[in-house]
Amino acid sequence: MNDWPEAWSDDNRGPRYGRGSGGAQPEGARAMRQVRRGPAAPQYGAGVPQQPSYANGGYDDAYDSGYNTGQVYGNPGGDGPGGTPGPGQRPAPNWRRRIKWTAITLVTVLIVTSVATYFWADSKLRREVDLSKVIDRPQSGSGTNYLIVGSDSREGMTKADEKKLHTGAAEGKRTDSMMILHVGDNGDTLISLPRDSNVEIPSYKGSTSGKVYPATGRQEKLNAAYAEDGPTLLVRTIEYNTGLHIDHYVEIGFQGFANIVDAVGGVQINIDKGFKDKWSGADFQAGEQTLNGQQALAFVRTRHAFAASDLQRTKNQQKFLAALAHEVATPSTVLNPFKFYPTMGAGLDSLIVDKDMSLWSLASMFWAMKGVNGGDGTSMNMPISGSTGGNLVWDKAKVKTLVNELNNDQKITVTGS
């Protein structure tokens, strides 16, 4: 039985190549017919119309496929319908879209980095001081008051560190420097409290025992309050002797201070007059110079080299803090992650703060200190009227005026020593 349609038997397909065929060429070498799309083809058989001629290279003269003009989709230049790129062509870049997504990506990265940095920094704060244990506190005034303490803590120091930094090996902690920073709307004020200031130790609640110790009228140097019962008694003593409410507490030890200076790459400072001090290890020439952590610690601790002793030391401390704040806030530190994060890490690891201290409050304190020492505020010592038995006596009238101006966030008119 023949499976081919009528008139398409195997015998009438013409000469074929191979399988005994008499054809001179393989079938694949013959030109394939060009089939034109059109109405449905009629049934095979006797009624099939004559096929197109393959003369002239195998194409009918009357047939034009549309592909011999060099056009793609019938448009000049090879573009597709509607101007879309043709095959093999790269589409023109959409710069508006690229800029949009680049901006979105950068903003997303910035937000994620900022949030991660905030939580990282917040987790490093050592909130160890509970100011709620301070009793009989004065009323809060306008603005915010920070008590900034530099202690002689040797926490984390080896014997080699103690020798290198000339700190000695004394047990416990004492205050090496104390400052009140007032941050307000009418200018910020930084007041140094000499550690030899003569003060009365008031009644207080023990920071660990919880026991209330009554006042006895005992007169002591200010740093004795810290040595007796730590930060809470120091705050209580300052509030009692000034009438100024302390809102936040910040403390840093020897090692932490030196680490911050080293992390920032040293601090440039101008020393007016050279000095030496075997106790602190200071040995400075006059002029502009960059101090590393060891040298910076010697600079802020020295007092035996000066006739004014502790008063001159407090001035040097304020001067150096100004230079340190300026160095930390420079673009070369803030915009360089390899410098910024080590500096932040060194600072936060070594700070002890009160339980209510937030990163925003800490940042506010830092910027205010930078502004004060940059000339945007007032920097002074607590007014002194004289001394007794080696202790410095505060000028009570001036102190009262100063505290009143601070509580009311007024411009400071009082001057210190």
Number of neighbours of residue 396 by Cβ within 10 angstroms: 11
Q: Please state, in angstroms and rounded to a whole number, the distance separating the CA atoms of residues 334 and 117.
A: 13
User: Do 257 and 324 meet the contact criterion of CB atoms below 8 Å apart?
Assistant: no
Segments in 264-382 forming alpha helices (H): 293-301, 310-328, 331-334, 337-350, 359-371
- Write down the pLDDT at residue 189: 92
CB 145 within 8 A of CB 239: no
Maximal CA-CA distance, the chain? 138
Cβ-contact 313, 302 below 8 angstroms: yes
Q: Quick one: which H or E segment has residue 149?
A: strand 144-151
Q: What is the pLDDT of residue 125?
A: 83
Task: Work out the burial of residue 249: count CB atoms within 10 Å of its CB; fewer than 13 is exposed, 13-18 middle, 19 or more buried.
Answer: buried
pTM over 0.75: no
Q: What is the pLDDT of residue 8?
A: 47
Paired with 386 in beta bridges are 393
Residue 79 CA, distance from chain mean position? 52
- The total of other beta-carbon atoms located within 10 Å of residue 324's CB is 23
Angle at 255 between CA 253 and CA 256, to 5 degrees: 65
Residue 376 is given by DSSP the state I
Share of the chain above pLDDT 90, in %: 33
240, 219 Cβ separation under 8 angstroms: no
The residues spanned by each domain of the chain are 123-408
How many Å separate Cα 413 from the centre of its chain? 37
Tokens in use for 207?
């920071």
pLDDT digit string (tens) for 18-63? 554 555 555 544 445 555 555 554 554 455 555 555 545 444 444 4
pLDDT of residue 187: 84
Axis crossing angle, helix 310-328 with helix 293-301, rounded to the nearest 10? 150
The sign one gets for the Cα dihedral 227, 136, 201, 182 is positive
- What tokens were used for 304? 């035996």
The stretches in the chain having pLDDT less than 50 are 1, 4, 7-9, 17, 20, 28-31, 41, 44-45, 55, 57-63, 67, 71-74, 77
Which overall architecture, per CATH, does domain 123-408 show?
A: 3-Layer(aba) Sandwich (3.40)
Cα separation, 366 vs 324, in Å, equals 10
What is the three-class DSSP state of 214? coil
In angstroms, what is the C-alpha Rg of the chain? 44
Quote the Cα angle for 374-375-379, to 5°.
100
